[in-house]
């Protein structure tokens, strides 16, 4: 991936927001190649902080809306019920698991992909850094898409539009719920492939391991998951 010139490596910090949005609009190698010289430690730290905040928000909302999404219990959206549910041991564990588990996966995936990345890129530390730049760049968009999918799912159930017999509502549900969630995997693969010089399929095989473990671990302890 091109390093760029000295002139290319300076940019207003406000451009960071566009650096997050650009992969959403142009999910391809050239996009990450363009931003690679600008994703320096300062930008990476800000992006990581924003990502962790979004992970926390997503964890709380996902657990709070779990009764609605899985049991269509609309009364669970009442403020008193939400507070009571989040303070219960089960829900508190799931929120903590979501936040801690997501943070671990956030670093585990690029670390594993770096192991199978092209050795010609340099030693392991260099390979990890090359992968981490595009990987962390795309995380705010991934978090926002997951958050959007969860909220949309809840709202569609609230208004009786999810799993409706109406073709329009079914199409709308498809576009607002599974499509954004599944798109996050596509964005992840493009970022990992761009940093590792491996194909999306190769990077995806490795990246899937911590992701699958993250989703299956709650089942091991008797939790029905998210």
- DSSP for 150-204 reads HHHHHHHHHTT-TT-S-HHHHHHHHHHTHHHHHHHHHHHHHHHHHHHTS-HHHHH
Whole-number mean pLDDT of the chain? Answer: 88
Q: Two tokens at 216?
A: 């299956």
Token pair for 156: 């569609």
185 Cβ contact partners less than 8 Å away, ≥ 6 residues apart: 204
pLDDT of res. 13: 61
pLDDT of residue 3: 46
Q: Cα-flanking dihedrals φ and ψ of residue 155, to 5°?
A: -65, -40
Using alpha carbons, select from 100, 123, 125 the residue that is nearest to residue 111: 125
pLDDT in tens, 159-179: 888 877 788 888 898 899 999
- Is the pLDDT reported for residue 5 higher than 50? no
In sequence order, what E strands does the chain have?
none
Q: How far apart are CA 26 and CA 167, in angstroms?
A: 31
pLDDT at 139 over 90: yes
Phi-psi region of 203 (alpha: psi -120 to 50; beta: other; left: phi over 0): alpha
* Mean pLDDT for the stretch of residues 191-217: 94
What count of Cα atoms within 13 Å lies in the side-chain half-sphere of residue 64? Answer: 20
User: How confident is residue 222, by pLDDT bands cut at 50, 70 and 90?
Assistant: low
Q: How many CB atoms lie within 10 A of CB 203?
A: 27
- Convert the pLDDT of each residue in 80-125 to its tens digit: 877 887 888 888 889 999 999 999 999 999 999 999 998 999 999 9
Whether residue 7 is predicted with pLDDT greater than 70 in this model: the reply is no
């Amino acid at each position: 991936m091109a390093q760029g010139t000295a002139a290319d490596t300076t940019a207003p910090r406000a451009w960071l927001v566009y650096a997050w949005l650009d992969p959403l609009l142009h999910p391809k190698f050239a996009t990450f190649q363009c931003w690679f010289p600008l994703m320096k430690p300062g930008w990476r730290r800000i992006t990581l902080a924003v990502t962790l905040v979004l992970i926390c928000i997503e964890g709380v909302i996902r657990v709070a809306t779990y009764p609605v999404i899985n049991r269509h219990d609309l009364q669970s959206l009442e403020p008193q019920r939400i507070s009571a549910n989040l303070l219960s041991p089960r829900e508190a564990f799931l929120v903590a698991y979501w936040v801690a588990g997501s943070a671990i996966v956030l670093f585990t995936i690029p670390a594993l992909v770096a192991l199978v990345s092209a050795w010609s890129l340099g030693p392991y530390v260099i390979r990890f850094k090359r992968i981490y730049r595009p990987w962390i760049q795309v995380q705010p968009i991934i978090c926002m898409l997951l958050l959007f999918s969860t909220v949309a799912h809840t709202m569609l159930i609230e208004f009786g539009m999810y799993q409706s017999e109406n073709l329009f509502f079914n199409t709308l549900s498809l576009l607002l719920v599974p499509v954004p969630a599944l798109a996050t995997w596509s964005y992840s693969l493009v970022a990992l492939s761009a940093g590792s010089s491996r194909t999306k399929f190769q990077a995806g095989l490795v990246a899937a391991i911590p992701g699958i473990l993250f989703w299956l671990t709650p089942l091991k302890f008797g939790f029905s998951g998210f």
